[in-house]
Amino acid sequence: MDDELFDHPIQISDGIIDIQNDFQIVKDKLKKNSQFSNIEIDSSKSQYELEINVTFRNKLNFIQGILSGMTLTLIPAYDDTDLEIQGILHNRITGKKTKKITTKGKMRTYIGIFPLFARPFSDSSKNRELLITNLLDNLLYNVEI
């Protein structure tokens, strides 16, 4: 999954709703993972603590964005998002930590009139969910207890 590009046509819900959905995907994925016997979110009672950091970095070509805006998106633009998930497993009893594990992926968001007609039934939220799920699988596979 490293550096594989996923298409993500722009949707009305982009923004804070996507962040809330992403957080829910992470929580659900952790709870369904068979690697751990019991998962509690934000709990200090367990022996192990998994610290996960999710980072989105957006890259928009400024000139392409201005040109697209001036033509009312007849000339489409796109926004590349780099997604990085980092994880560290802490053993609270021994005080030991695992090395930081990092997985990376990319998404491309299309902005324009033509992509809306070319991909009217595209399920881009599933692409986003698939990317996050695959990166989490990779992270959890590489974490050593």
Report the C-alpha gap between 106 and 49 in whole angstroms: 27
113 and 9 Cβ atoms separated by less than 8 Å: no
**At 85, is the secondary structure helix, strand, or coil?**
strand
pLDDT tens, residue order, the chain (145 aa): 345 444 444 444 455 556 777 778 888 887 787 676 677 767 777 788 888 888 878 787 888 888 888 888 888 888 888 888 888 888 888 989 988 889 998 887 777 777 666 665 555 667 778 888 888 888 888 877 6
Q: What is the pTM of this model?
A: 0.68
Report the C-alpha gap between 106 and 79 in whole angstroms: 10
